[in-house]
Structure 1
Amino acid sequence: MDYKSIESFDKGIIIKKVKNFNLIHIFDCGQCFRWDREENGNYIGVAFERVIEVEKRDEDVAIYNTTEEEFKSIWENYFDLQRDYKDIKLELSKDPLLKRAVNFGDGIRILRQDPFELTVSFIISANNRIPMIKRAINNISSKWGKTIEYKGKIYYAFPRIEDLQGVSLEDIGGCSVGFRAKYIKDSVDKIYNAKVLCEKIKNENIVDEIEIEIEDTIKYDLDYIKTCDDDTCHVSLQNFSGIGPKVADCIMLFSMQKYSAFPVDVWVKRAMQHFYLAPDVSLKKIREFGKDRFNELSGFAQQYLFYYARENSIKM
């Protein structure tokens, strides 16, 4: 566990003696889009239909607008605070090339985010820039998400699957998502239909009557996909329109706790070419190389490499 204890105060809670927790490393390493840095260095984010503000205080972390109960039920898991990242960093630092990236981004933690939100968000992320991704997600949230007020400002939760089901292609397209609108619409419909069918099976015990329908539909159920082994999960996510190998890896890593995932974008490609491989290696081969080299810690290695490469503007 990477903290000692928690204490309440009038505006929230304080996590005492937190290790391996750097706000910039966590929120600016490419894994999330609903967090913004304030002028005072704090970060305000929207997750699980709540708004919180996070402040680093030397060895402690303050979380505003929450309670001990919410911390235990949501934020401890969200920030992966039961995990000791020291062990991960020690293991990855045995690789002398990776050690430099680990030391550079030593405060990274991989967040445990909502699979539905992450699926839509990373469909939007394909061939897109972070400011445009954040804008599109905020547009979708402001149209169909729950309204939340904090410090006199209005925020919007990411919509639930039920909120987006039935929304027209034109309305989705009006949220600045570009050509990805049709992918979002198709994926939302498939996820919703799978969820309804799975609930029907569970409540009515009608497996035998709709066996073919189950086979065609359950492959789009995110809860089911999350329970699959890592390779099956990776393949299953690519059944959705607009999701290729890299986006599937991101969804697996940032919301499904599949830590063998190794997303390869332009920065990871540059980092892997810079540290390990010849410049002409394909994205597929880079992914395979990363997974073979780092095994069950591939996702953690990827985050350290991504952050190092981007922040140091590595070029090939």
Structure 2
Amino acid sequence: MSLAVFVLSGATLPRTGPVPEDKPQAAEPAAPQTETPQAPAPIPQPKPEEPKEAEPKPESKPAPANPEAAKPDETAPAGTKPSDEKPDDAKPEAPKAETLEEQHLTIEPESDADHADCIKELQSLGVVFKEIPRIDDGNGCGIDKPIVLSEALPGIKVKPEATLRCPTARALAHWMKESVIPAAAVAAKDQGRITTINQASAYICRLRNSAETGKISEHARGNAIDVASFSFEKGDDIAVKPRREDSTLTGAFQRTVSASGCLYFSTVLDPESDAAHETHFHLDVLERMGGYRYCH
């Protein structure tokens, strides 16, 4: 039995011997790991080439400067014209400040069909007017198909009578019927109904703001009327004057009808606009591109 134990114990000794011999073999693959970091060394070399490619990118950045220049061009109908118009607009500013005689303007023709439709609408509203012959005062002043307006609506006189184009009288009638009269019924109900529109200017051959030079006035084309005040059955007139800080019903009335005027007229200038309009509403039906309206 002792001999057998000795033999078995002796057999186990050589088995542990080869185990340490295998471990040094595992250290050999460590050598290739040191070789792999040498491979990425050429990789950083192409990286300096990448910034060279990034250089054309800033060159593309000035390109957006062109769309910025295109923004003002959007206000003009054509893309090439605005660049030509900018210097032209700046320079002709001086020549545009011309007298009527120097501008060589003509009277704008009116469509027979449109005029007939407008006349029918005035009649349906009860407007009192009469048609008169064509007005031609030269230098672009005049009306192709003028009318003389006596009553803006039944029982509401226009004093003095106003010579206008039919579309101007039509806008005035709708403004009075749908805005001014209802507002007055609230703000001045104790004064009764409106009896008169006191106008300060209708057709007249002149430049804007009666200046000696500049653009022709819409009054010279029959497109405009200036309203100075409203008269009532009783009580005082409501005069058009600066009322921005007026906290009374009268102030509210004027601000209301001024704002609503832009629903009917393409231009509304009130006493808050400038010194030239401190005593009246300027109302006109000038047609602008895109239906643009100017109300202040």
Same fold, judged at TM 0.5 (above): no
Q: Which has the higher contact order (CA 8 A, sep 6+)?
A: 1
Q: Greater share of strand residues, 1 or 2?
A: 2
- Bigger radius of gyration: 2
Q: Greater share of helix residues, 1 or 2?
A: 1
